[in-house]
Amino acid sequence: MASWVGIRASATPAQLDAVVRAIRNTPVIDHHAHPLLKPDSLGKYPLLSLTSEAGGDAIHSATSSLPHLRAVRQLSSVLGCALTWEAVVAALESKRFDPTDTASLENWTAQCLSGIETILVDDGLDDEDSAQVYSWHDDYVRSKCKRIVRIEKVAADIIKMLGGMCNVSSSHAQRKETLNDFYDEFIREFDRVIKEAIEDPEVVGFKSVVAYRTGLDVKPQVNEEAARAAFGELMANFALMDFEKLQEESLNDLVVHRTATLIRDFSPKERRKKPIQFHTGLGDNDLTMSKASPSHLQEFIRAYPTVPIVLLHAGYPFTREMGYMASVYENVYADIGEVFPCVSQDGQERLLREILELCPWSKILWSTDGHWFPETYLLATMQMREVFETVICEYVRKGHIGWRAAVELVQDLLFKNANKLYQLELDFSELDGDTAVLPGTYITDLELLQNFLKDQPIPDFVRICWNDFTASQRMRMVPFRKFMSLLNDGKPTDIGITKAVFGLIQNDRLMPSVPATGEYRLHPDFSSLKPGPIEGHISMHGEFREQSGARVPLCPRSLLHQAVDFGVESGLTFLLGFEIEFLLVERVDSPSPLVRQSSVSSATSKPPARYTTLATDGHAWSVSRYFADPRVSTLLRDMVSVLASMGIYVEQLHAESATGQFELILPPYPPVQAVDTLLHTRDVMSALATAAGFKITLHPKPFAHACGTAAHMHMSISSANGSDPKTYTPFYAGILKHLRAITAFTYSNPSSYERAQDGTWAGGRWVTWGTQNRETALRKIEGSHWELKTMDGLANPYFAVAAVLFAGIHGFLDNEPMVWGDCEMDPSKLTAMDRKELGVSQMLPSSVEEALTALNDDQDMVEFLGSELVDRYTAIKEFELSFLEGLGGDEERREWLMERY
């Protein structure tokens, strides 16, 4: 029985849509960011700094971080380039330095800053000559930008000026008096600059980076004597120093306290006081992280209760401390910038939840912390809207917050809180609908379904499908009205499935070692929605999760996702296309189902024949005469047209060699989509054949003396440099290295080995490859486009493809040598010397048992796939073999398999 779990939500789909619209269309007041670089300075800083605070040699490790990989996916989507860092860099450089399009960089900058109302620019970064002035950014936002004055920069500039004037080569008394005078002048000049900034309408706030200098543990009071002495020593030795930054604790404390005092005492009475922003949490490696927690500022905050204080960068990883501070002190505000895009998506979602645990949203602001490159603004904005949709919509669905309050929360965080705090007096108006929705924006399940149904009649049922360890296609079916009510009520659409699902064979016999207890959750993947396979149904594929939401190591589709993700991390993406070979047979009269079931399950009685081949006059490979049969030609035509109506466009269809055998070729897709499409297409074809009075079977060897039925897989590397032999050669060498183990998944049934013969274009029995050689397991077609021939329709394609990809990706990473030469003939006809020269030394397994042994002996493959999965797969295959051996002979086994495949 299915069990549905959910909490009553307080929002309808229309109300949730209003929340999503607010997240996407609320303009951002970016209250903390930095200038962009001038075009001739763009090459000064590494692009890897988009998602990392690392510098020097450490930054190169950023390519193996989750934030970097996410940025690659999002930027490649926006730029329309391959899914690799190299391709992203090349695309960005073309926008920066395209001599044929001088407006390219301007247009790209405008796109990156889309959705931002205004920027409050901290222009006190180092290398200011390389950066644009704050007002330059006005052309790219809706309202004019304002300044944030960095107080340590003010202090450093005054010190440099005074240091150049200081001459202390006099007597001790005169020297002391001179240094005191310089200290007093420093105070007067600092006060003057800060007071002018307080009165300057272009300045809306101040910024302190004391966290970088001496830490946030600012003393409650200024030690005037220590500050004066430290300043005197600084002036006395200034000529011998290469002064850039103020690093003395008492002077840094002085600068922070002096600024707060001036804001408190000299702000115009008719206006709110301008805030001080404090860098907190993560930053460059000259930061002492233990002193970067905002909790260190508690005594300072208490000393200036009327001075607004903004804690920047989510205090990461001290987010809860920051939220607490903002919740208990009226003058404290919490910023959740910079973590977008410098923290992973899971981390960002957790962080948003943490800040909302305790902190009133009227005290929370958001910023990009954009700097140097326009892409920092783009990634921050994209990721923020995506994470906001995930977390806030979840709160609305669960009834934790009403939809109107959620809209208010979004508008406050992104616009209204900053507008009030910084006294910007901007009018709030939503962005145009298309402005804020950028590629990569999160789309809800309900939106995916609504978009899907725009061109579809309302269905009767929703199917959620999975493919089990025996490659049996299974599904749960939910009436559409019930399914929509779950979505509309904000309830989960996952389904409870017994954990025994991965211990069953084709006739539902359960492995003795697998208990019939426990439950997984089958989560539908709405991005895999397709009409069919029969009228009134829509289908999607699901993945299994634990009750906690964690991935299930035994889930076949999840395993393939892991292989694909591993490829992306390694700089590889793929396109796969399947050939569906199938046999059309006709059913013959047979006893009732109960009699037939009894006979099939008996080890001594022989069941009557259930299927017969089609009548034919000389059926052969690619002949045209078979299509003269109107029943067959109509069925094949319907297959192509129905699949086309589902967005699946068949590339070829022709007769194969065995009587009633045909091949339908699917277009290439990314791996998970390719397997989803393969399974859905088979369901569609089977349904149409049944309606026409036929049956389709994928049995690998239905006739002893005719060609078998395969499921050949075409592969190509679609990422940058995929066509380079240095990329694809070690990839395919990795597959050949592990091919004996992979065969446990691609040839998963005893009947598979009946097909695996030499001289029948089945890929042969040897571990090797050859250019356009159909007698080799791997056929090279052109460049990185190769064909795996040793796979049939009884394989679970998620497992098979995952095993192939893992082996190939590791081959690429290890630069696996191609020790096999290009085999130009049937390897079974090679002499011993020929085989030695070509490196052909291993044969493929000759049975399921041998293949399972090869899999378990290949410790690398066990590690790639996970020992838990390999152990379960081996056990269930052995259980399946035991059952098949108990049937009443080859003919009964053939009939039994044809009923199911």
> What are the pLDDT digits (tens) for 210-224?
999 999 999 989 898
Helix (H, G, I), strand (E, B) or coil at 103: coil
Per-residue pLDDT band at 321 (split at 50, 70, 90)? very high
Cα atoms in the Cβ-side hemisphere of radius 13 Å centred on 245: 14
Check whether 147 has a pLDDT greater than 90: yes
Q: List % helix, strand, coil for the chain (3-state, nearest 5).
A: 50, 15, 35
Per-residue pLDDT band at 416 (split at 50, 70, 90)? very high
Check whether 714 has a pLDDT greater than 90: yes
Q: Which residues contact 146 (CB under 8 A, 6 or more apart)?
A: 118, 119, 120, 121, 134, 202, 203, 204, 422, 424
Q: Quick check: 686 and 696 in contact, CB under 8 A?
A: yes
Q: Quick check: 186 and 159 in contact, CB under 8 A?
A: yes
Per-residue pLDDT band at 323 (split at 50, 70, 90)? very high
Per-residue pLDDT band at 90 (split at 50, 70, 90)? confident
102 vs 728: which has the higher pLDDT: 728
551 vs 67: which has the higher pLDDT: 67
Per-residue pLDDT band at 8 (split at 50, 70, 90)? very low
Check whether 584 has a pLDDT greater than 90: no
Which amino acid is residue 680, in one-letter code?
Answer: H
Residue with tokens 């089990």: 468
Instruction: Specify the pLDDT at position 593.
Output: 42
Check whether 89 has a pLDDT greater than 90: no
Angle subtended at Cα 806 by Cα 800 and Cα 810, rounded to the nearest 5 degrees: 150
User: Which contiguous run of DSSP H or E holds residue 85?
Assistant: helix 85-97
Q: Residue ranges of the alpha helices (H) in 29-83?
A: 66-79
Distance CA 27, CA 410 (A): 10
Instruction: Specify the pLDDT at position 594.
Output: 33
Compute how many other C-beta atoms are within 10 angstroms of the C-beta atom of residue 718: 18
Return the minimum-mean-pLDDT range out of 67-71, 122-126, 531-535. 122-126
Helix (H, G, I), strand (E, B) or coil at 451: helix
Complete DSSP assignment for 687-725: HHHHHTTEEEE--S-SSTTS------EEEEE-STTTTSH
Q: How does pLDDT run across 271-283, given as a tens digit for each residue?
A: 789 999 999 998 8
Compute how many other C-beta atoms are within 10 angstroms of the C-beta atom of residue 295: 16
Instruction: Specify the pLDDT at position 795.
Output: 92
Distance CA 306, CA 265 (A): 10
Q: Quick check: 376 and 369 in contact, CB under 8 A?
A: yes
Q: Give me the long-range contacts of 246-251 (CB less than 8 A, separation at least 24).
A: 246/152, 246/155, 246/156, 246/159, 246/213, 247/213, 247/214, 248/214, 249/214, 250/222, 250/223, 250/226, 251/155, 251/227
Task: Please compute the mean of the pLDDT values over residues 10-19 and round it to a whole number.
Answer: 70
Q: Quick check: 418 and 29 in contact, CB under 8 A?
A: yes
Per-residue pLDDT band at 13 (split at 50, 70, 90)? low
User: For the domain with range 13-145+203-220+269-436, which CATH number is right: 3.20.20.140, 3.40.190.10, 3.40.50.2020, 3.40.50.300?
Assistant: 3.20.20.140
Q: Quick check: 117 and 141 in contact, CB under 8 A?
A: yes
Per-residue pLDDT band at 467 (split at 50, 70, 90)? very high
Q: b vs e for 850-877, b when ≥16 Cβ sit within 10 Å of the residue's Cβ? A: bbbbbbbebeebbebbeeebbebbbbbb
Structure tokens at 626: 């078979």
Check whether 313 has a pLDDT greater than 70: yes
Beta bridge partners of 612: 586
Instruction: Specify the pLDDT at position 360.
Output: 94
Residue 693 exposed, middle or buried by CB count within 10 Å (0-12, 13-18, 19+) = exposed
Instruction: Specify the pLDDT at position 743.
Output: 94
Q: Quick check: 671 and 576 in contact, CB under 8 A?
A: yes
Return the minimum-mean-pLDDT range out of 156-170, 180-194, 632-646. 156-170
Angle subtended at Cα 751 by Cα 689 and Cα 474, rounded to the nearest 5 degrees: 50
Instruction: Specify the pLDDT at position 172.
Output: 52
Q: How does pLDDT run across 789-819, given as a tens digit for each residue?
A: 888 989 999 999 999 999 999 999 999 999 9
Per-residue pLDDT band at 618 (split at 50, 70, 90)? low
Task: Please compute the mean of the pLDDT values over residues 658-679 and round it to a whole number.
Answer: 89
Give the C-alpha distances (Å, rounded to integers) separating 869 from 420, 469, 546, 865: 56, 10, 15, 7
Helix (H, G, I), strand (E, B) or coil at 75: helix
Q: How does pLDDT run across 827-880, given as a tens digit for each residue?
A: 888 888 888 989 889 889 999 999 999 999 999 999 999 999 999 999 999 999
Residue 224 exposed, middle or buried by CB count within 10 Å (0-12, 13-18, 19+) = exposed
Check whether 365 has a pLDDT greater than 90: yes
Domain boundaries, the chain: 13-145+203-220+269-436, 445-552, 652-900
Instruction: Return mean pLDDT, the chain.
Output: 85
Task: Please compute the mean of the pLDDT values over residues 371-394 and round it to a whole number.
Answer: 92
Q: How does pLDDT run across 776-786, given as a tens digit for each residue?
A: 889 999 999 99
- What is 652-900's CATH number? 3.30.590.10
User: For the domain with range 445-552, which CATH number is right: 3.40.50.150, 3.40.50.11890, 3.30.1490.190, 3.10.20.70?
Assistant: 3.10.20.70
